[in-house]
Amino acid sequence: MSSKKNKRILLIADHASNYIPSSLKNLGLKDNQLNSHIAYDVGVKELCINLSKLLNSNYIIGKYSRLIIDLNRDISDPTLIPEIVDRKIITKNLCLSNHDKKKRISEIYNKYHYKIKTAVKHNNIMALISLHSFNPIFKKRKRNIHFGILSNQDRRLSDCIITEMKKRKLKVGDNEPYEGNLIGDTMYKHGLKNNLHHTLIEVRNDLLSSSTKIHRVSILLKQVINNSINRI
C-alpha cells in the first residue's frame, strides 16, 4: 500500500494513558492500581505510536486515565465517569457534582472527540482503527486468545482483519473478550456514523510487556492492516 493511502488511516487509542492530575489526588487509589489495567490499556500508547510510524499514518491518543472519564463511552452512558471498576470503588468519582462532571466533559471528552472529528474531516480518512489491550487473566482463568477484533453492524474491515490473522494461525476472538457494538462509543461515533471502514483491535497485554514485544506486534499488525485495507 502506498504511503499516501496510509495517510488516510487514523489510529486511535482511547485508553492510552493513566495520567491523573495531582488535584484529583489519584482518585483515592493506590499507585499500583493506577499502573494496572483498571486505569489504562497497558502497552497501547507505545503500540499506537510505533504502528503509526510503520504505517506512515496519523494517530490520536487519549491523554487522561479512563478513570477520570471514559473516552470510549457515549456521553449519556452511566459508566462515562466510573464509580466502580473491577470491583474497586473509585472514591473521588462518587457523588461527583454536576460542575465537576461538566468540567471533565468539556476539558477532556469533548476536546478528544473534536480532535478525531477534525482529523476525519480534513485528512480524508478512509479507515479508523482503535487500539486497546486486555488482561490475559479474567476471573482466575486465562483468556485463550491473543487478539480480539471488535465490531458493530459494519463488519467490513473487522472481517478482513480476522481472516488475515487466522491465515497466520493466530488465536483471534470475534467480539471477544468484549462486544464491539456499544452505542455511542468511539467507533460508533466516528466510524459507523460516517460510513468509514472501522474496527477495534484488542491485544492481550502480556504481548505488550516490553518494547521488543510491542515492536513485534507492531510489525504483525502493519502487515495485517495493509493486507486488510487492500482487500476492501
pLDDT tens-digit readout, 39-61: 999 999 999 999 999 999 999 99
Buried b (16+ CB within 10 A) or exposed e, 82-117: beebeeeebebbeeeeeeeeeebeeebbeebbeebe
pLDDT digits (tens, 9 = 90+) for 105-116: 999 999 999 999
pLDDT digits (tens, 9 = 90+) for 128-158: 999 999 999 887 788 999 999 999 999 999 9
> What integer best gives the mean pLDDT of the chain?
95
Band of pLDDT at residue 86, cut at 50, 70 and 90: confident
Average of pLDDT values for 97-107? 97
More confident residue, 122 or 2: 122
Q: What is the pLDDT, as a whole number, of residue 139? A: 75
Q: What is the pLDDT, as a whole number, of residue 177? A: 94
Residue 5 has pLDDT above 80, yes or no: no
Q: Write the CATH number for 217.
A: 3.40.630.40
Residue 1 has pLDDT above 60, yes or no: no
Average of pLDDT values for 218-230? 97
112, 61, 132, 189: CA torsion to nearest 10 = 30
Domain extent for 76: 3-231
pLDDT digits (tens, 9 = 90+) for 9-36: 999 999 999 999 999 999 999 999 999 9
Average of pLDDT values for 174-200? 96
Of 23-27, 138-142, 159-163, 190-194, least confident by mean pLDDT is 138-142
Number of domains the chain contains:
1
Residue 215 has pLDDT above 90, yes or no: yes
Band of pLDDT at residue 4, cut at 50, 70 and 90: low
Band of pLDDT at residue 3, cut at 50, 70 and 90: low
More confident residue, 133 or 231: 133
